[in-house]
Structure 1
Amino acid sequence: MKAQAQQVVYFNDFEANSFPTNGYTGSPTTHPYISSSSWTNSSNTNFTDEVGYNNSVGMGLNLNGSFSYFLTLTIAPGYEIQIDAYNFWREKNQANAGWEMKINGNSVDSGDTQPDGDFISTTPKLANPPLPPFSGTVTIEIKINGNGNGLYIIDDFSLYAVITPECPEAVSFPDKTLCEGNAWTIAIENPAVGSTFQWQVNVGGFGTWTNLSNDFNYSGVDTAILQIQDIPTNFNNNLYRCVITKTACATVETIPVALTVIPLPQTPNINYN
């Protein structure tokens, strides 16, 4: 399968604040297939406007004992999210406090919080262990382990993920014209997570579809990326498609794509008298 680009699907710097409230949305940067997002907390207490990262606005809670921040995301129908990594800035103004992150009940990380405030990592921190894809409602919990009274602040919260269709889709590709001996790559972009692939050929554009096998000319026949190399002239007019399957989804075939192969010009024989 093609490696999918990790991207920021949710970022909130809490600058568009509307504190005090419990049920904060603000103006986060979100992926188009995240339908809604909201912050709440376990104590049903109003968040407060505090000094966050680099003297910007952060979201604070001033509580005693253990409590949790909750970020609830709604994923658009027909799509699922696979969260790869995350990062956020945090500060505890009196002593230190531990934190633990859970995503839909899966414990992914934990650490300490110092009074001077910093990010949990200098780069996006990978979820460990890796998370399965989620659809519908996704809840991210940041639990603060109580250590007496004190103000806890978070800022610049980011999630890194890929959002793909829950089930495979019938994609199409532009037809291709190449000179003999060249190479061609056909790639299915952002396929549904958990899909399996089988590329097929219809030789000459007529007859039956046949499963491809990896050989001198073909590689990646059971992945999202088919590579055809050192293309001979007898591949002219071939049609290609991919059969995509996934548990609990209908089998999908990509729209056939045609290959035209132009023979290389022949070197004429030159006779010298």
Structure 2
Amino acid sequence: MSVIVQAFFHQDSNTWSYLVSDPATKHALVIDPVLDYDPKSGRTGTSSIGKIADAIAEGGLRLQWILETHAHADHLSAAPWLQARCGGRVGIGEGIRLVQAAFKPIFNLEADFATDGSQFDHLFADGEAFALGTIEARVIAVPGHTSDSVAYLVGDALFVGDSIFMPDGGTARCDFPGGDAAMLYRSIQRLLQLPDATRLFVCHDYGPGGRAVAHETTIGEQRRANIHVRDGVDEASFVAMREARDAGLAVPVLMLPAVQVNIRAGRLPPPDENGVRYLKIPLDAL
């Protein structure tokens, strides 16, 4: 029996979040939940993640996991809000330690900010197996976009984070701290060894060429048609293409707010003595 996948699109960040459930047991997990954030006013909101919480309640589902594919640079995680309302454990790849260590000095975070991943309930190792009800699942480390990037294979459904996009969208950038184009190429090759019929769900889509946004493809289609890593593209060609493209990309609009929240497992920074929480914007540091 296949897992049921419900997709939710966050238009402001072009992010797909997923509610994945086992129809036999009603156990569920959520992948990459998004907190609404207005950079102009500094206000957060929960209307988007509220739709997923409503779907969990309406389906009579029991939330087991809230999974991050990596510490995102384009949206703030809504994991704490969702966990407070629906339960579940928050998990991410064990490479988050490297990301925390890289960004703690950039943001000059408080001295007691831990870089051991302890803000999360569980750190997944490469190849680690777990279950969603009666459905077998495992973690595949896919570093290259970031040091902590992982994909989750739940039954026949693969959730790839930012490592690979829809075939006409190609692949993710590799110029963030800890990024490496050659590493990403090798990570994607691991994914492309899965059966062609494996359903593949992306984290972002930007509708290249004006097409409607999409979220699902297959391993076979990626091997046949991905504009960056289809069959026949070697590592050297991919690295040259990726590095040339990345050199012309701007920093994501929400990178500075998002990363300093997401390395805290989505928790906002501790409040100052006036009770207000503040995000830091390092000047001339990136």
TM-score (norm 1): 0.23
Greater strand proportion:
1
Greater helix proportion:
2
Bigger CA radius of gyration: 1
TM-score (norm 2): 0.23
